[in-house]
Amino acid sequence: MRHARRLFARLKNLFGPGRADRELARELSAHLTLLADEFQHRGMSIEDARLEARRAFGGVEQAKELHREERSVLWLEQALQDLRYAFRSLLKTPGFAAIAMLTLALGIGANIAIFTVVNAVLLRPLPFQHPEQLVRVFDDLRGAGAQDVGMSVPELQDLRDRSGAFERISAVWTVSNALSGGDHSDRIEMLGTGFDYFQILGVNAALGRVYGPQDAVPGFSEAAVISDGLWKRQFGGDRNVIGRRIRLDEDGYTIVGVVPPDFRHPGKTLAGDVEVWLAAGMAADPMPMPIVRDRRLVPGAIARLKPGLTIQQAQLRLNALVAQLTKIYPKEYPAATKWSLRLEPVQESLTGSVRPTLIVLFAAVGFVLLMVAVNMANLLVARSSVRMRELAIRQALGASRARLIRQLLTESAMLSLAGGLAAILVLTLTKTSLLALMPADLPRLAEVQFDARVIGLACALSLLTGILFGLTPALHASRTDPNQDLKEGTRGGTASLRQNRFRGALVATEVALSVVLLSGAGILLHSFWNTLRVNPGFDPNGLLVTRIWIPSPNNPKANRYLTAPPLAAFSREVLRQVRMLPGIQDAAMGGDNSVPFVRNTLALRPFSLPDDPDSNQKQRSAEVASVNPDFFRAVRTPLLRGRVFTEADTDTTKPVILVNESFAKRYLSGHDIGMRMNYDRKDWEIVGVVGDVRDDGLDTPVAPRIYRALYQDADSNELAVFLRSASDSGLKQAVTRIVHAVDPELPVYGVRTMPEMMAASLARRRFSLFLMAVFGALALFLASIGIYGVMAYAVSQRAQEFSIRMALGADARDILLLALRPGVVLTLAGVALGLAAALGATRLMASLLFGVSPADPITFLAVSVSLALVALLACWIPARRAVRIQPVVALRS
Amino acid sequence: MSTEGKSRIQVLQGTLDLIVLRTLCSMGPQHAYGIAARLEQVSEDLLKLNQGTLYPALVRLEQQGWIKGKWDKTENGREAKYYAITKAGLKALGEETQRWRQLSSLVEKLLSEEF
């Protein structure tokens, strides 16, 4: 109580310290008067009494000082004093304060922005109970060079019952689905799971219930769980939605629950967030029967590790299981395929692909802040040389060096805190538009937000930056000799040699830092350029794609497009009608995996070549797509050998297949046309070889690929109409209308032009390039300001020297060279230093590069030259001024 | 703020506060000069202190709510700030006196102990 009371009294004294001081002064003078009275009473003269009173009292100033210490919190009082002083002195130079705050706000703001993303995507644990126990399970066939090939149902059961690694495990697969209702069907994103899915994640429904083990049936359970988004969009947020019947791919389901709004499936999706969750037992229709071990039906699995088991220990148990199963089933797991099971933390498999990009951006933005700090230090040193006199006076009046440093640091910390505050303010205001800049396929994008950690970082970063850029100039400025500086100050403030050298070092550092940043930006630019120059293997211009989902009901007999004839009939009818639209040059139909640049669910599928004696030893795999006879002509992919499909290739004729060039090169060594292939339990004949298409993205190597004939075997879950036309105005609506006219039950989606899809596939690259370019430009700008500032100052300082030289006969060229030299030396030193650092830095970016070596000579040359040019310009402007000095004027002043 | 000054204050602090409280209790409201004069008189100049050192003690005691200052006139018509002990101060004086006695008897006992 008494301490609290005292603390309160002391803190109160922080505000309005003047009142307490006046009161004390009055009291002390009263005290001295009483003492003097006493001495006078003892017979002293007035004068003597007064002197004696002072003596008896002791130091009045000490008493005041002690009193102040006792009544208030001294360091806090001084800090407040420093703050007020800093505020006043910054107000006196509003231009400096504004520029400083702006650059700081830029530097700190960029850091906070990137960190916010890094925090949400990489650092923050997934929003589930014990997220560290959540893993993805992948099947690899390393002998065939194939990863994530999916698992068979018996394997899934073994993992659950025999591995001893998991508490629970569930299959997961993303598919499109047709949600019927009203006059047409919508394509939605569905996640198929096992019955333990929600228990693994530990997620409960916000409304109703989630399905669980009690719902288990051999096929699909009727219980459907929907997303908050679908609930609001399709059902208007109606709380009575529980128990409603919905039709998905023509089957009836009952909505049992709605998941919380912030719940997202922690895995890759096809085109957006999952909207419906369905569970299946994987032991009945629509799963192909019979269930066999070598049919990898389950695309992926998610699991929760047994409590207390580390991921390494679990991996060991899986390795043991693999060894055991390989021994029991040698036919299903040939040794040559090197079948293995791999565990990956869910968080890593979700965000692993963006990790390198984010880390590089985070590093780059750190460099930007470093540059801002160096630039600020430079500005402050320049400023402190102007303030030399003020500091000298303060020191002469008794300010200790520590106090001076503290005061200067207060000033810089105040600046950077203000900058940080401004940054947060701007970021909060522009959050929505900044988020729109980010590639839409960034995982966990919805979780990006300011949290305590981000705010904490912003404050820490601001303070740290303030101290970083404030400390050196403060140490520097406070190391003054009052005598010398007062004299110098009156003469008009020439900075010492020491100071110039220091600023030079700062500028060289700035140049070096900007070389690093520009190299990063340059190398990304070069690799982006390379990406754009890649031949996609088809002509994307004027190509419009319209996707159609073919519902696959749980009862295969209910699937109207299960066999080739109806599918071919539908395709032919749609094509016949779209060809009548105005301006259509070409039209074709593709099946599964025929659309380039979209995230396909496909994995590499195994096949064998009976004619190839080696084939039985080696497991081979390739991507599989299906297309109609018009496809290659419409997309302008060249036929290299043999023939493409014809209308005559139907389900009654001999099964034929096409392969791409990569396939032929990798597996067929010369003999390709007429070769037999065994794939999907059937024999096929290779009738043609077509050119490679960069289906998985311009920057991804082409995989060996098999094309099946759409009209021959209808193993497609989706169709895509490819239209080539001069202009696509109104075309999108027209195609949708035609498809719905032919079959109103089929949902149409993803109507986009090929250039749009290519752009989307490059979104991440463009995003990181854009940011790096911004950072690089910022760096260049800061460096040139730094060089300019130092050079301009140096020239103004040497005005007298130049005048004397001119008076003695130096001509303009001599002076120009003389004035330029220090700047050129600094720049060259900085560039050399920066290049060395950049070589190390770009090596860390290797995974982001395409077709460029991390030590790309073009980039480094271009960066060095452009930086040298900018620096030269920044030096040249003040150097010109040196030439124009009027000797008479300069010498007189 | 030299370390020397600090340590001196620390040695004196508790004691000085107690003495000031005691003085105010027995003499009634008194100004700083009066307290100092009284101390010199009682200690027979053994306790030689700069009168200025009283002020930190006074502000401390006042902030703790144990004494309260009020401006008034002396009998000679000079103005002075008179400090009076408060009710809380009287209570604190009792407690502090008790504590001081315990401490001093303990120190006394330790010092007179034979080795």
Q: What is the DSSP string of A485-528?
A: HHHHHHHT-PPPHHHHHHHHHHHHHHHHHHHHHHHHHHHHHHHH
pLDDT in tens, A497-543: 666 777 888 888 889 999 999 999 999 999 999 988 889 999 999 99
Q: Find the CATH number of the domain harbouring B48.
A: 1.10.10.10
Determine the distance in angstroms separating the CA of A78 from the nearest CA of chain B, rounded to an integer: 14
**Chain A environment of B65 (Cβ under 8 Å):** 2, 5
A25-34, A220-229, A435-444, A599-608: which has the highest mean pLDDT?
A: A220-229
Determine the distance in angstroms separating the CA of B32 from the nearest CA of chain A, rounded to an integer: 7
A702: left (phi over 0), alpha (psi -120 to 50) or beta: beta
Q: What is the pLDDT of residue A719?
A: 93
**Chain B environment of A57 (Cβ under 8 Å):** 50-52
Number of domains in chain B: 1
A536-545, A601-610, A662-671, A780-789: which has the highest mean pLDDT?
A: A536-545
A385: left (phi over 0), alpha (psi -120 to 50) or beta: alpha
Q: How many whole angstroms separate alpha carbon B65 and alpha carbon B60?
A: 9
**Chain A environment of B21 (Cβ under 8 Å):** none
Instruction: Give the pLDDT band of residue A394 (cuts 50, 70, 90).
Output: confident
Among A318-327, A384-393, A712-721, B29-38, name the one with the lowest average pLDDT: A384-393
Give mean pLDDT, residues A185-207.
92
Q: Give the CA distances from residue A225 to residues A163, A350, A646, A852, in Å, rounded to whole numbers and listed in that order.
A: 29, 22, 44, 47
Question: A224 near A277, Cβ under 8 Å?
Answer: yes
Question: A28 near B50, Cβ under 8 Å?
Answer: no
Q: What is the pLDDT of residue A159?
A: 92
**Contact status of B47 with chain A (Cβ, < 8 Å):** no
**Chain A environment of B92 (Cβ under 8 Å):** 2
Give mean pLDDT, residues B50-77.
85
Instruction: Give the pLDDT band of residue A480 (cuts 50, 70, 90).
Output: low
**Model-wide pTM > 0.95:** no
State chain B's mean pLDDT as an integer: 79
A136-150, A463-477, A758-772: which has the highest mean pLDDT?
A: A758-772
> Regarding predicted confidence, which is higher, A409 or B13?
A409
pLDDT in tens, A272-293: 789 999 999 887 777 777 778 8
Q: Express as a percent the part of chain A with pLDDT over 70.
A: 95
Q: What is the pLDDT of residue A491?
A: 44
Determine the distance in angstroms separating the CA of A21 from the nearest CA of chain B, rounded to an integer: 12
Q: Per-residue pLDDT for A744 more than 60?
A: yes
Chain A residues with at least one Cβ partner in B under 8 Å: 2, 5-6, 9-10, 24, 26-28, 30-31, 33-35, 37-38, 56-60, 62-63, 65-67, 69-71
Q: Per-residue pLDDT for A344 more than 80?
A: yes
Tokens standing for A268?
């890759």
Q: Per-residue pLDDT for A492 more than 60?
A: no
Domain that holds residue B80: 3-112
Based on its alpha-carbon atoms, the radius of gyration of chain B, rounded to whole angstroms, reads: 16
Q: Per-residue pLDDT for A453 more than 90?
A: no
Question: A827 near A868, Cβ under 8 Å?
Answer: yes
> Regarding predicted confidence, which is higher, A147 or B7?
A147
Comparing alpha-carbon positions, the chain B residue that sits nearest to A55 is B50
Q: What is the pLDDT of residue A544?
A: 94
Q: Per-residue pLDDT for A321 more than 90?
A: yes
How many CB pairs (< 8 A) connect A and B?
75
**Contact status of B55 with chain A (Cβ, < 8 Å):** yes
Q: What is the pLDDT of residue A490?
A: 43
Q: What is the pLDDT of residue B6?
A: 38
Q: Give the residue from A11, A28, A66, A69 with the most B CB atoms within 10 Å of its CB, the best one to mutate.
A: A66
Tokens standing for A299?
């695309």
Determine the distance in angstroms separating the CA of A33 from the nearest CA of chain B, rounded to an integer: 8
Contact A34 B80 (CB under 8 A): yes
Q: What is the pLDDT of residue A602?
A: 57
Q: Per-residue pLDDT for A842 more than 70?
A: yes
**Contact status of B33 with chain A (Cβ, < 8 Å):** yes
Give mean pLDDT, residues B27-41.
85
